[in-house]
Amino acid sequence: MNKAALGIVLVLLAAASAPALGQAPVKTFTVTVEKKRVDIGDGMTYDAWTFNGTVPGPQLRIRQGDEVSVELLNHTPDAHGLNIHAAQLPEKYFGGDTKNPLNYKFRAEVPGVFVYHCNGIPILDHIGHGMYGAVIVDPKEGWPSGEAQEITLVQSEFYGTPRPNGRIIPDHTKMLEGHPDFVVFNGELNKSGAEHPIPIKVGKPVRVFFVNAGPNLTSTFHVAGVIFSTVYQGGNPANPLHGIDNLGVGPSAGAVFEFKVSAPGDYRFMDLDRAHQYNGAMGIFHAEP
C-alpha cells in the first residue's frame, strides 16, 4: 500500500472511532416524588414532600458539556414539577401534572453549584415541605485548584411547631412570614455537630459545595478560624474571590468555598446570622493530622 492510500485509511479509521460532532456524554436521572415523614433530628419528624424519599433530595452531579436527561415520576395525587437551575430552558419544561411523568433534556453549559426544586404552585410550599436538592456541574477541565476533599452542604428551613410527640406539620403562614422554626444543614439538626463532626485533614485542600435551598433566608456562610483561599460565586470558576472569610448566598443560590487548616482541632461552620445559628445552622469540621 502506498503512502497516500495508507493516509486515507488512517483518516477513515480515525473518523470512524471519533465521536460525532456535537456528541457529548449523557447523564440520566430519574427522580420520584414521595410523601414521607422524615427524621430532622433531636427526636423530631417533619411531614415532608420529598424527591426519592429524602430531604434534601439526591445530589445530581454532572460535567460541563454533558447532555442531561431528567425524568420525574409522580405517584401522588398532587401536581409537582422539577426545576433544575443549571438547565437553560423555558419554564414550561419544569412544570408537571398528576397524569403524566415529566421528562426533559438539557446541555450543562455553565459550571457551578445550583439548586433544584419542585416547580409546583405555590413553589414556596413545595420547597418548604422539603422538595429541593443540589446540582454540581464540574468544569470541563476540572477545578482550577485541583484535587480536594469534597463536602456538600445544603442549608434549608423547616416551618412548624413540634407537637408533644415531636411531629411537625409544615406551617404555610410561617413560610409566608419567613420565620422558620429550624434552619439546618443537610436536612437535620446537629447532623454534623459535636457527636458527628465532618472529618478533614490538616494541610489538605477542602472544597465545600454550598447550596442555600431556602426557601426564604439568605445565608452568610463562614467557618470559624478559616480564611477561604478561594470562593467561587455561583460555584463558577469564572467568578473567583480570594482571601475572604464569609459570603452571603441568597435563597436558591450556591457557591464553592475552598480552604486548608494548619492545626488540628474543631472548626465550626455556620450561617453568621445569629438567629439562624440559634435555630440550628451550625456544624463542625474536625481536623486531624
Average pLDDT along the chain, 289 residues, taken 10 residues at a time: 39 33 77 97 98 98 97 92 97 79 94 97 97 98 97 98 97 97 98 96 98 98 98 98 98 98 98 98 98
What is the radius of gyration, based on Cα positions, of the chain? 22
CB 139 within 8 A of CB 237: yes
pLDDT at 96: 67
Q: What range defines the domain where residue 87 resides? A: 26-138
43 forms beta bridges with none
Last residue in a domain, options 138, 169, 185: 138
Q: What is the value of pTM for the model shown? A: 0.91
> Are 119 and 247 part of one and the same domain?
no
Element (H, E) at 62: strand 60-63
Give the pLDDT of residue 119. 94
Q: Which residues pair with 71 in a beta bridge?
A: 30, 103
The DSSP code for 208 is: E
Residue 188 Cα to chain centre, angstroms: 15
- Are residues 200 and 95 located together in one domain of the fold? no
Q: What is the pLDDT of residues 231-272, one digit of tens each?
A: 999 999 999 999 999 999 999 999 999 999 999 999 999 999
| 78-89 residue pLDDT tens | 999 999 999 999
Cell 417533619 belongs to residue: 46
Q: Give the residue from 92, 113, 138 where a domain finishes.
A: 138
Per-residue cell: 245: 472569610
- pLDDT in the model for residue 194: 94
Continuous segment of H or E residues that includes residue 177? helix 172-177
pLDDT value of residue 72: 96
Residue 175 in contact with residue 125, Cβ under 8 Å? yes
Residue after which a domain boundary falls, among 138, 164, 194: 138
pLDDT at 19: 34
d(CA 84, CA 157): 19
Question: What's the pLDDT score for residue 75?
Answer: 85
Write down the residue that cell numbers 433534556 correspond to.
105
The CATH number linked to 82 is 2.60.40.420
Number of domains in the chain: 2
pLDDT for 101: 75
